[in-house]
Amino acid sequence: MPSFFNQSLQFIGITLVCFAIHTVLFIQRYPVYFLPDLALLTYLIYKFRDLDQTVSPIFWAGLALLFGYYFLSPTPPDTSFPNNYVVTLKPFAYLCILALYSRNVPQVNLSKWLRLFLVIYPLVLLWNLFLVHLSENANLGQLMTTRPFFIFENNFEITFYLNCFIILFFIYGEKRLLDFLLLVITIILAGSRSGLLSFAVVCIFYFLSVSWRQKIMVALLAIGAAAYIGKGRNISAPLGTIDRVQSFQAIFDHYGNSFIEVLKEPFGFGIYQKVPGYICTRLPDFAEWFTGNSHNCDPLMLQAFYTRSLYQLGIYVTLLIPILFFLLVKKETGWKIAVLILAPVTCVATSVGGFSNGLAFWGILISIYAYIQFQQPQLITKSALSQ
């Protein structure tokens, strides 16, 4: 009983802290997108002393691409809008980090914190909706179209959340229906289309891993989640009306709608290159909504990772990035778990930053660490195991 009481108090305390953090961010709107990369840099410095694994050749491929695009990309044209080219280079930096640090497992017992996050995150989303209701007097219909979040845009958070679920269910083997119910609730609350796509991929693997009774329940819950998001995000609308589809089509138009022309630009137009001005006229509403200026169609503002990479990095490198990530993850976990681990980030890359987002990369890195910890529990300190 004392143990249960202490654990309950700890859970309530952590939940209240998360509510407080979100409330401050909800009110003040501090810029926080750099936090995952700052946390990553801190971890890299801390664990640098433990670097002892064999360096994968992919490290050198990532390093060559990183410096190649930085130094050999054409000079940016003289425009009034900056191009945040660092974001374009981040996938190559992440590949180098993964090749160097994939076996530098922390001595913290990850399972406890993953379970906590699985429960607390949907509570924070509900808290966000409550704050929206208070600040805007929003009714239920308006809340259905709201995109609740904890710290970042929830496309990134859902990617990380899905990785946490994958760890608990597919790596730790904790096949609890409650965890899946929490995942469904989170997908419904978030209302993310790319999150729904990632969820569908995970559901396929989940469906193949449970009993027939659970298969029926999983199918019903998944259909319910899709129907809810379909109503809230209008996913039944014509494909050409979706902003990310429009941005991809605009880039494809730049190639003359010819796949042959796409293949003729093996390394894209360079990381500094601005999207031609006439493309902005195709996306004025999207540019206005996202940047506050209908004339700002910087490649970064196209958002979708594959669209931006197709233009700046070229089709070959765009396809190479997920392949290299897969090879690195597969080396540590095997191909099946690697497919599962990379499914969320691969799907979300159709909509947002994907392989260039720090939080999504953390999901991949922690998944590998959790797998290694599960396979080699001796790597965790005794004090961490007792938590």
pLDDT digits (tens, 9 = 90+) for 333-381: 999 999 999 999 998 898 877 899 899 999 999 999 999 999 887 766 6
- Decide if 347 is inside a domain: no
Residue 251 CB coordination number (10 Å): 22
What integer is the mean pLDDT of 168-174? 92
Q: Does residue 299 sit within a domain?
A: yes
- Report the distance separating Cα 355 and Cα 94, nearest Å: 8
Query: Rounded to whole angstroms, how far apart are CA atoms 282 and 263?
Result: 23
| Model pLDDT, residue 3 | 54
* Greatest mean pLDDT range, 144-148, 178-182, 379-383: 178-182
Residue by residue, what is the 3-state secondary structure of the chain? CHHHHHHHHHHHHHHHHHHHHHHHHHHHCCCCCCHHHHHHHHHHHHHHHHCCCCCCHHHHHHHHHHHHHHHHCCCCCCCCCCCCHHHHHHHHHHHHHHHHHCCCCCCCCHHHHHHHHHHHHHHHHHHHHHHHHHHHCCCHHHHHCCCCCCCCCHHHHHHHHHHHHHHHHHHCCCCCHHHHHHHHHHHHHHCCHHHHHHHHHHHHHHHCCCCHHHHHHHHHHHHHHHHHHHHHHCCCCCHHHCHHHHHHHHHHHHCCCCHHHHHCCCCCCCCCCCCCHHHHCCCHHHHHHHHCCCCCCCHHHHCCHHHHHHHHCCHHHHHHHHHHHHHHHHHHHCHHHHHHHHHHHHHHCCCCCHHHCHHHHHHHHHHHHHHHHHHCHHHCCHHHHCC
**Per-residue pLDDT at 383 exceeds 50:** no
User: Which of 186-190, 218-222, 274-278 ranks highest by mean pLDDT?
Assistant: 186-190
- Once rounded to an integer, what is the mean pLDDT over residues 103-116? 90
Percentage with pLDDT > 90 across the chain:
37
245 located within any domain: yes
pLDDT score for 79 = 59
pLDDT > 90? residue 99: yes
Q: Please indicate, yes or no, if residue 274 is contained in any of the structural domains.
A: yes
Domain range for 287 is 239-312
With 60 as the cut, is the pLDDT of residue 103 above it? yes
CA–CA separation, 348 vs 359, rounded Å?
12
Please give the pLDDT value at position 382.
47
- Do the domain assignments include residue 38? no
Q: How does residue 254 score in pLDDT terms, banded at 50, 70 and 90? A: confident
Report the domain count for the chain.
Answer: 1
Instruction: Give the angle 24-29-33 at the CA atoms, nearest 5°.
Output: 105
- Residue 343 domain flag: no
Q: What is the pLDDT of residue 252?
A: 86
386: in domain: no
